Amino acid sequence: MNSLNTDSLGRWLDTQDIAPGEPVEASYISGGTSNDIFAITRGDRRLVLRKPPEKVPPGRNETMLREYRVLNALNGTDVPHPEAVAVCDDTDVLGSCFYLMGYVDGWSPMSSDGWPEPFRSDLSLRPQLAYQLVEGIARLGNVDWRAQGLEGLGKPEGFHDRQVDRWLAHLAKFQFREIPGLDAAAAWLREHRPSHWEPGIIHGDYQFANVMFQHGTPARLAALVDFEMSTVGDPLLDLGWVLMGWPDADEDRTQKGYVDYTGMPDRADLLEHYAKVSGRDVSEMDYYVILARFKMAVVLEGGYARHVKGDGGNPKMAYYGKAVLDMAAQAAELAATTRL
């Protein structure tokens, strides 16, 4: 049952001077194997609470604190995000660490069946959704992370030197089958590390599922959300994450992913917009797309391995089996054909 001890939460909110003395109302928004999210109302304050599931996975409390640290560092920047309000590291309050963020008045591409109107019927409005998507990470990557107190969040030195070995070591913990193409992609990545790059904040799982848009037109980002995998490294990996499944101009755009890409810009247009906003060199983008596909194959294989073993709580993990093979094959194919 997804519920909160609102009495305990209320006492803690009093210590934070958040509408002290007012009754606390909590309603469940979403959650599952990752994190639980609740809408919180107290007096005239509308907040959102994010916490691990009731059975807290190892390391998840630390991840909560890390997420909040990133969110708090974005306060005062030009990156659209939920305002960081308060964080609690006392697990006696709700059984885990948690944090509160401001309520975002907007819509998520995951909250409706297809694009909402007018983006559903007017294809001329859709390109701005894509340009806003990449603009979010362009701005995120340009935040002065040292000035915002994120020194030590990640290890940018040697970031690309570690990627292949790190993810292969992670795969070794649960690998139970061969994944054709993964070794070829790994070998190519080792030989083609970027010659120059500038560290910045990485979201880590950047896609339409993890942004919110403002109501109305034209499309405008309301917030980047879910900083669970955020770190300091090479921000171009976030762009590779967006582009790794983006359809080519001649592909069927209606069945490419969980959103309808019909009317969306081509990859080249997105690259140009990102480069204009960020000022970063995108000439080696194939490397980042290959790395993103390589990493995604490993991440999804972890979920599929849990499903095969009978430990997976999400039935959708059954579909990861083919997705892993496709992603690894696509990584190897691009590695074999790119001109980098």
Give the three-class secondary structure for 72. Answer: helix
Residue 27: inside a domain: yes
What's the confidence (pLDDT) of residue 33?
56
Which token pair is 268? 């080249």
Residue 109: inside a domain: no
* 3 state SS for 24-44: EEEEEEECCCCCEEEEEEECC
Q: Could you tell me if 237 and 157 lie in one domain?
A: yes
Residue 112: inside a domain: no
**Per-position pLDDT tens, the chain of length 340:** 578 999 999 999 999 999 999 999 999 988 655 789 999 999 999 999 999 988 888 899 999 999 999 999 999 999 999 999 999 999 999 999 999 999 999 999 987 778 999 999 999 999 999 999 999 999 999 999 999 999 999 899 999 999 999 999 999 999 999 999 999 999 999 999 998 999 999 999 999 999 999 999 999 999 999 999 999 999 999 999 999 999 887 777 766 678 889 999 999 999 999 999 999 999 999 999 999 999 999 999 998 998 899 876 677 788 899 999 999 999 999 999 999 8
What's the confidence (pLDDT) of residue 256?
65
Residue 117: inside a domain: no
The C-alpha angle with vertex 291 and arms to 335 and 293, in degrees rounded to 5, equals 85
Q: Could you tell me if 68 and 152 lie in one domain?
A: no
Tell me the whole-structure pTM to 2 decimals: 0.93
What's the confidence (pLDDT) of residue 313?
63
Q: Tell me which residue range forms the domain holding 29.
A: 6-102
Which residue, 34, 42, 53, is CA-closest to 12? 42
Which token pair is 290? 């290959």
